[in-house]
Amino acid sequence: MPKPPARHTRNHVRHQPYLGPEDSKRLVEYCAATNTTESGVVREALRRYWADAPTDATLIMGRLDRVQRAQTRTQRDLELLTEAFAVFVKFWFAHTPSVAEGSHKAARTMAEVRYKQFVDYVSSQFAAGRRFLEDLPQDMVADESELAELAAKGPRPSVSGGESADESGGPSHEH
């Protein structure tokens, strides 16, 4: 059934929305209590509704926030994969001898054990906040005179016993 055309009165357009009995009763009571017209209440309600409605800018900012969170997760994943690759290369060069002809089955078994060690090691490095990118050369942070001044002050204290310290101050246990 087609909607009847709205009627124009002075500077207003007439609309006839349908309300449920409870809403209609509450509207009439509210108008009587506040000495306002039903049209005035509806107009003000629509103004407030549209004022609170999200604008294009709000929607765009919300979408940009979601994109940024997704990009942050992607960056984290990329760092994890980078760390895993770096650890793999270190293990590969340090622990992969040539395999003799009759030792292929034993080599496969050992490879499974080493793979589990690899996954555990990468997980612990990543959980501790260590990143492969920290091993790469950084931008120059001091010029020659600043380096000479630091060298004149003497070496920084290190952990004794030949073990390196992790971020908590305790010895680290590398695999």
CB under 8 Å to 19, separation ≥6 — which residues? Answer: 27
CA dihedral 120, 128, 132, 161 (to 10 degrees): -90
Token pair, residue 123, equals 């997980």
Q: What is the pLDDT of residues 129-148, one digit of tens each?
A: 887 667 766 665 566 777 67
Q: What is the pLDDT of residues 71-104, one digit of tens each?
A: 998 898 898 888 888 888 888 888 877 778 888 8
pLDDT (mean) for 147-154: 70
pLDDT band at 169 (very low <50, low <70, confident <90, very high): very low
**Which position has the higher pLDDT, 74 or 7?**
74
Look at the block and give the residue holding tokens 């509450």.
26
What local confidence, expressed as pLDDT, does residue 124 receive? 92
Helical H runs in 96-143?
Answer: 104-127
What local confidence, expressed as pLDDT, does residue 168 receive? 42
Q: In a 3-state reduction of DSSP, which class is residue 48?
A: helix
**Which position has the higher pLDDT, 39 or 139?**
39
What local confidence, expressed as pLDDT, does residue 20 receive? 94
Give the integer Cα–Cα distance in Å for 90 and 118: 10
- Side-chain half-sphere CA neighbours of 23 within 13 A: 7
pTM to 2 decimal places = 0.36
